A and B are shown apart, each in its own frame.
Chain A
Amino acid sequence: MKPTTRGFLFLAFVLAVLPLALPNAYYYDLAIRMAINATIAVGLNLLVGYTGQISLGHAGFFGIGAYASAILTSRYGLPSALAMGLGAAATAALAFVVARPILKLKGNYLAMATLGLGIILSMVIVNETEFTGGPDGMPVDAFSLFGLQIAGEQAWYGVVAVLLLFVTRGALNLIDAPAGRALQAIHGSEVAARVAGIDVPSFKVRVFVLSAVIASVMGSVTAHYVGFLTPGVAGFFHSIELITMVVLGGMASVFGSILGAVVLTLLPQLLSAFEGWETVIFGLILMLTMIFLPRGIVPTLRLKFAGRAA
């Protein structure tokens, strides 16, 4: 069995037995948030870790999904699944339009452009008070499909666990497929990738759109699950959190992203005892990881064990 298949089965096993170990709604809530973040991080890692294209604006896409669901269901009475689909479609369209010019840039310039895009999106959400409720936020209707309502922590846990497994499997398949090899080749050297006959711009655009749509769908899920939205979900700080999950767990490691999401979702809970110090510790973790474990936790551990085995 391939190590990734083993990892995937392990993940499925953990997600299946976890409910037995969750004593109350609070822990369910934590598990749901972890799974949501993990799913986004896996998608973002395809872009940042595998393809080498940084995005400091992914919370913007998350925000489009979240607010599309909220506005279309609560203000216009659309079915929630349709609203989610429209949000994803809008995200895909926007990501597709901006991807080509943005992904022509590299390094610092790409970081700036994605950051700018994210901030514009979050400002639109803050300022269009009529639709989004502005800084005060807005309530979101429950999610229902064919008259069946998804409500309560246990039901949502089931939904997000399935989504996480689905996206993880998809990502694992993708990186082993020729398309995934192409993405990794782009990370290695764009010129070499192009010489090898890879349509570099088109691959970059596709992985950008894919990761944006994953973020958008998880935004919709979060909106319905939490039931109330504030503009912070689309803000700069949320983008930083997402990229930190990818970086901490390990660039170019699907399971690393999941681990990073788990750690960073738990962190604020553990740190709430040190009021005011959360930001400091968050910042220190970012710096220390990058200085001492620039590959992130999972790839570093993997290298260590591989070295011992050899």
Chain B
Amino acid sequence: MPAIEELTDAYERYVLRNEEGFMDEFRERLREFGGRPTPLQHAERLSERYDTEVYLKREDLLHGGAHKLNNALGQVLLAKYMDKERIVAETGAGQHGTATAMAAAHLDMPCEVYMGETDINRQRPNVFRMRLNGADVTPVTAGRGTLKEAINETMRDWATTVENTHYVLGSVVGPHPFPVMVRDFQAVISEEARRQVREQTGELPDSVLACAGGGSNTMGAFAAFLDDEDVSLHAVEAGGSSLAVDEERGVAPNSASLSTGNEGVLHGARTRLLQDDDGQILESHSVSAGLDYAGVGPELAHLVESGRVRAVNVDDDAALAAFHRLSSTEGIIPALESAHALAYLERVAGPSSPATEGSSGEPRDEAHDDLGDIVIVNVSGRGDKDLETVIEETDRREIPEAPEMDVFTEGL
């Protein structure tokens, strides 16, 4: 793909060497348009509950309601510097599509977003937002109609239009330079958090927790801490409904490629994948559309293999419970993606749920000790987009933390 060479060249010039003041303009726009820096908030009730100081990195307060703007704005701006005339993007939960549509409108670029049909149906508010920002939303019907298929279709578009089009890939996946470039744009999360936690506590955190689908908020939350070897880093994957593969249907009812996948090659990267014995990619599942992907960023996979990052996972029920818990105790409605990171906190440090519950068991004390006294949880996005899913899914499960759902479902 020749586009890759052109993009690598642009990445090295503008992002790494700040030619023409690209990074200065990027940071300025993140402040003015994006609302950075986002707060690092001390969460009082959670701190009490877990007997540890919990700090929430509030990426939900970034413009658009998710960390996705960091990368989308960076890439659309880069496309401008590259004299591209059109933007394409894929989206799962719609957060990346929304961020890209906003950035494209802000920088006056036409934008087309590919989105799986399943995801269109479960993330309608974001579809509306993308359209309001002037983007075309193109449904993808192949496969299960989720992120993997949307990426395939966007790659096909890009292969056809590469001369005038830039593909704003939404996570730290795909061919080089996407994984490192997206990480660099997202690293602002941990750069800020590292500074903020020192200002507020005088110390570095003992651990950082972030959810991991493709891994963009994960890498963003970890990047500035990678050299701080005393800071333990936890990537929390979507354990879905089960970690076991449904052989008959050829489906992995989870998105835990770090925890359960094997090494393989997909979308131009060698990484860990959910695949069958032949190497066919499995359909993944998560209650959270944003984590619903069969692969994961290659750098994150490498960090897990080398032992620097610990990969853990929680299931759909635990994520829903954490969603309700944060909403009712702290007044923050988190994205279902971020709820996975919060659910891990509950599993290892919660007052009532032993650590052996859920998907990957560890003795509770050990895991709790491992978290330490200062914990940062990346709240990667806000949950407005997920309300329909949450109401529906909560209604058909038993989630003790949740309020009665009747009031919502009566009118449905």
Q: Do A and B bind each other?
A: no
